[in-house]
Structure 1
C-alpha cells in the first residue's frame, strides 16, 4: 500500500506541475448527504497527507461525533482525484475517508464507509462481486429562486423563462412550454439545452460517463441527465459531483439548479431512479433467458422482492425529506405502491423493455429522489436486495408484488387492497425504519447509532413542518 501511495503521489506531483495546479480540495458529506470541503495549498500535497490526513472538528458536521470526541481526520482517497473545473487558480479535488484522529480507524458512521461495507457484505455473501448503479438526475433550472421563513412570515418564489406562467421580462415569448408538454421538447422552447451540454462536458471531464441529456416533462425548465452504470461507490460519488457541478454551473449562468423532489405545486416532480445490475465475474446475475418473464433470473426476482418487502423502511433513506412525499402522489408517473412490472412507470420497480441483453439486464427502483444521501440509499437498496435473495422472497397472491403490467386501478378491489403502499409522509417512513431495520444492520453494515440519528432527524423535521403555518392556510382560513 505504501508503495502504491508513493507511486500515486509521484504521478500526481508530475501532473500538478504540468497543469500548474495550485490547490487540493478535499470533499466529504455529512450523514445526510450535504457536501463539505477543505482546501489545501498544493505545497501540502505529499505522502504525509495520505498518512496523517487533515484534522477537523466533526462535532460541527451533522450526524458525526459530539464535542467531547469530535476530532477526526480527512484522508484523501487516491481513486477519486479529478480537476475541479470551478476553481481559479486551478485545483485538483477528491473525496476523503473520515478517520478517528487518535486510532486512525475509519469512522463507522461515515456514509462512504457504510456503502463500502454493504458492497463487501454482498461479496462475502457469494451472490455477486460487483453492484452497478445508474442514477437518473432530474432537476429544475429556475431564473429566480427566493424563499424566507420567520416567526411571522413565510414565502417562496420561483420563476422560469420557459414556463407559460412566467413573470420574467426575458421570458421565452412565443415558445413557452405548455403544462406537462416538456418531454424531449426541442429548442427554442428548450432554452437550457446549451447549459445541459456544457454540464455533460464537465461531468465527463470527471470520468463520469453520460448516456444522454434532454428536457423533462415539467414546463418550468425541468431537465434530465442520465449517466451510465458505475460501481456502487463510484455511482454515489457521481451523484454528489453531478449535483455540485449543476449548482456551480447554474451560478455561473445566473440561474438556480433545484433538485428538490417537488418544488412546484401541480407540476412534475423530480425523482432519482436507480437502475441496478449485479455481476459475478463477467456473468450478469439478473439475466436468465429460460424464465419467460422478461428474462429475469430467480435471484433478480428475489432482489426485487427484497426491495418491495423493505420499501417502506427504505423510504427513510431514499426519500428522507418532508418534500419527498409531495412527489410520491398519484397522477404524476410517481410510484405510490410497492409492486413491480414490465415497462410500468407507475411501479416501484420497473423492468425496462429496452434493456434485454444479458449484460444490460437491469431494473430501476423508482421511489428515490435527490434529497437522499446516495451512499445510504444505495447501501440500503443493496442490503434489501441481499435479504430478499437470502430469504428467497417471491411474489405471491398475498404480497401482490407482481408482476403488474397494467394499471393497478384495473385490478379487483381485493387484490388492490393487498398491495402495500409507500409511506404517505416522513413520519411514516421514520416509523417504518424503526420497526424494520435488521436487514440494514446485518453484517454491521449500518449501526444502530446511525439508524437512531436518521430517525431522530426525520421525526424532528416532520414535527417542525407541521407546526409552521402555511401561506395557503391564510387564503383558506384567514376570514373564517
Structure 2
C-alpha cells in the first residue's frame, strides 16, 4: 500500500518512480463543479524542477475558470499526494496539483483545493480549534445497463439492475428469483445482495491506494445501491480522498462491465444517494464537541449545529448543487428535509451519533449533502457555517427526538424545511453568503460565478425542456 497524504520530498517521489518502474505521471485537478481532470506526461518529464516550475495547460477549457485571453495556467505537482494508479496498463504515478498563474505564480482563487486549504487556515486563525476531522459516507448505485438521451424531439432514460425487484419476471436463463424487494436493500445478504464481491474489490483497491476503509454494505435501494465508508481525516485530505474514492469505485465497476453513479436521485420512488458528513473540531488533540449537554455535546458543539442549521438553505446551494439533488430532498426515504437536530434520529438534518460513549467519538452528522457536490467546496462551506455558529453563539433551539415525518401538523409547520429546488437554494446563497467570505475562504467573484453558471447551464436548460411525465399528464389536454 502506498501511503497517502504523508510528507514527501520531490526526491522521494522520484525514488518511488524508480522503485515502481513508473512510465507515466498523471497530473490531476478538480474543476469548480467537482469534475476531475488529468494531464499525462512521460515519467522522464518529472524531475525536481517540475515540482517548482509546473506544467502548462489551457485554463479556458475548464468550466468556470479562465477566459480565452488569459488561458495559460500551471499545474504544479504536490509530492505529498503521490500514489500508483491501479487501472492503467502503463505503470502510472498520480499526483494532485496546485493551480497557479504562470506570470504572478499566485495560487488560483478558483482552485477548489485552494479554497479547502484556506478554510483550514481560517479555522486555525480564529483560535477556536486547530483542526477539523471529517468522515464522509458516500452512497452510490451500481447499474448493469444505463441508456439516456435528450434531443429537441425526444428524451428518455433507462436504467437496469439485475438484483432489483422489477426484474422478478424477466426471462433470464434461469431467473433464480433472488431479487431485492422495494426499499429492503439495506445490509441485505447474498444471494439477494449481488454486488458484495464487487464492493469488496472496491474496498481492497481503496486500501491498496492508501485510503482507510471502515466498512461496506448494500444500501436501502433495491437497484444495486451501495455504501463504502472511508476513514476520518482533515478537510483537504478527506476531500482529496473522496475524489479518489469516486475514481476508484467507478473504475472497478467499469472493469466488471458495471456502471456506478453518484447522481442524487437516479431511481424514482427509491432512496437517493446521500453524502452524510460527520465532522468534529479539535484543539491540542482535545475533542471540542464533547461535553455534558444534550446528547453529550458541549456548548461549542451545539453552537456549531446552530450555525449549520441557520445557514443550511445557503449551504445547500453548494452541498446539493444539482437540480436532481432536490428530487432526493423530499419527505420519506430517510431524506433529511427538516432543519432541526436530534440524537440518533436520521430524519433530522443534523444528527448526533450515539454509537460510542468516548468523547473522541463525539461528532455532528450533517445529513443533507449529496455526492454530486464538489467536496472541497462542500466541506469548506460546512466548516464556515459551524465557525459562524460558534463565534456568534447561535443556539439551535430544542432538539426534536421524534419521527419528523410523522409530526402533528401544528408542530410540523414550525420546523424549517430545506429548499425545494436548486433555484431556491441559489436565492438563499445570494441573500446569505457573508459567512463564506470571511478570511477570504470563498470570494465574492467565485460565488457570483458559481450562481451564474448553475442558472445558465443547469437551471434554465431544465426549465426549457418538456419532461417525459408531462406528456403523461398533459398530452391529451
TM bin, normalised by shorter chain, reads over 0.9
Conserved? CA contact 2:10–2:51, under 8 Å: no
Q: Return 201-210 or 421-430, whichever deviates more.
A: 201-210
How far did residue 411 of structure 1 move? 5.1
Report the Cα distance in structure 2 between the residues aligned to 1:91 and 1:178, rounded to whole angstroms. 42
Helix, strand or coil at the partner of 1:469: coil
1:247 aligns with 2:250: yes
Helix, strand or coil at the partner of 2:430: helix
- Offset from partner CA, 1:109-136 (integer Å, 9 cap, x none): 1111011101100001011111111000
Helix, strand or coil at the partner of 1:370: coil
State the match for 2:234 in structure 1.
Answer: 231
State the match for 2:3 in structure 1.
Answer: none
Report the Cα distance in structure 1 between the residues aligned to 2:225 and 2:174, rounded to whole angstroms. 15
Report the Cα distance in structure 2 between the residues aligned to 1:377 and 1:201, rounded to whole angstroms. 27
Report the Cα distance in structure 2 between the residues aligned to 1:156 and 1:227, rounded to whole angstroms. 31
1:439 aligns with 2:435: yes
- The one of 208, 211, 215 aligned to 1:208: 211
Q: Is the alpha carbon distance of 1:287 and 1:341 closer, same or farther for their aligned partners in structure 2, counting shifts above 3 Å? A: same
**1:46-445 counterparts in 2 under 5 A?**
46-166=47-167, 167=170, 169=172, 173-288=176-291, 290-291=292-293, 293-396=294-397, 402-408=398-404, 413-445=409-441
Gaps of 5+ in 1: 397-401
State the match for 2:25 in structure 1.
Answer: 24
- Offset from partner CA, 1:442-465 (integer Å, 9 cap, x none): 111100111011111222211211
How far did residue 210 of structure 1 move? 0.6
Report the Cα distance in structure 2 between the residues aligned to 1:171 and 1:99, rounded to whole angstroms. 58
How far did residue 204 of structure 1 move? 1.3
- The one of 453, 464, 467 aligned to 2:461: 464
Number of residues paired by the alignment? 469
Helix, strand or coil at the partner of 1:112: helix
How far did residue 413 of structure 1 move? 4.6
Conserved? CA contact 1:210–1:228, under 8 Å: yes
Conserved? CA contact 1:355–1:362, under 8 Å: no
How far did residue 170 of structure 1 move? 6.7
How far did residue 248 of structure 1 move? 1.1
